[in-house]
Amino acid sequence: MPELPEVETVVRGLAQTVVGDTIESVWLGSKPEPLKSPAVVIERTLRHARIAAVRRMGKHIVIELDRAHARRPKVRRTRSKTSPGKDTAQFIVHLGMTGQLLVSKPDQELEKHTHLVAQLASGRELRFVDPRRFGRLAVHTRNGFETAGLEPLDVGFEIFVSLFRGRKTPIKSALLNQKLLRGVGNIYADESLFRAGVRPRCCAASLTRDQLRRLYDSIQQVLNQAIAAGGSSVSDYVNAQGEPGFFQFEHRVYGREGEPCLVCSTPVKRVVIAGRSSHYCPLCQK
């Protein structure tokens, strides 16, 4: 499942390629699951909108749309140049488990499981492909999109510490709780806990300030390194240009059950915590 570094990589790729472009037409597939807004509303909001910016909130891709010229009939456009910023909207994409948001050339073959194609004035296409259909597409017309949790790369240490105060769940579960930190999922939680030397089952509330400091630093380090590597391609993940990331080669525990720890050679263990696999080294992590 794409986590913060993968979504950030897609966002950066889109920001470089489609910002300033205008959506000319929209095609939507017939599968209802990916559509969190009615198809007709998505189509109407995107059509003729200019892509003003692309940014990330947690695991969500936020595409800021400028519709200042979209709604006015051509004959009246010269007379009504007022109210910039009023005609804005947001196109929100969540990649779910297997979603891909791709910038394609129109002659590239349409992949099976394509749920949206937005034709751009530049001639390129923005395509949403998602075989398992856990991804979501939505539009917000009042720029009101909000999502819970704090950005792990922006949060300060003291606020980070306060998130876990009195929280009697395993630290792994607390890291996956998107209402606390948004964007950290299974891979980066396991990798951060390994680097911090903290076992995933440790009670969040009982972590010492030293442990929390190491965990805070590890999360920052792991996320930044993963973004620099273009994310982890463990299943279907590719960036907006269709290319894989490389951080999977830097994983120290995730997906390495039974393999020797890279620090001490003890076999990496896998346990299930809150229904999710957790990987750790029983010697390096206390």
- Which residues are near Zn ion by CB under 5 A? 261, 263-264, 266, 281, 283-284
Residue nearest to Zn ion (CB): 261
Which of 164, 280 has the CB closer to Zn ion?
Answer: 280
Which of 84, 258 has the CB closer to Zn ion?
Answer: 258
Q: How near is the Cβ of 96 to Zn ion at its closest, in Å?
A: 33
Residues annotated catalytic, as ranges: 2-3, 59, 276
Give the separation between CA 232 and CA 188, rounded to whole angstroms. 10
Q: How near is the Cβ of 172 to Zn ion at its closest, in Å?
A: 17
Q: Of 153, 157, 155, 160, which Cα lies nearest the Cα of 227?
A: 153
CA dihedral 58, 62, 21, 115 (to 10 degrees): 100
Which of 150, 262 has the CB closer to Zn ion?
Answer: 262
Q: How near is the Cβ of 252 to Zn ion at its closest, in Å?
A: 9
Q: How far is CA 60 from CA 105, 137, 165, 275, in A?
A: 24, 10, 27, 23
Q: How near is the Cβ of 268 to Zn ion at its closest, in Å?
A: 8
Looking up tokens 């910038």 gives 103
Give the separation between CA 12 and CA 209, rounded to whole angstroms. 34
Give the separation between CA 259 and CA 248, rounded to whole angstroms. 15
Q: How near is the Cβ of 106 to Zn ion at its closest, in Å?
A: 51
Q: How near is the Cβ of 170 to Zn ion at its closest, in Å?
A: 19
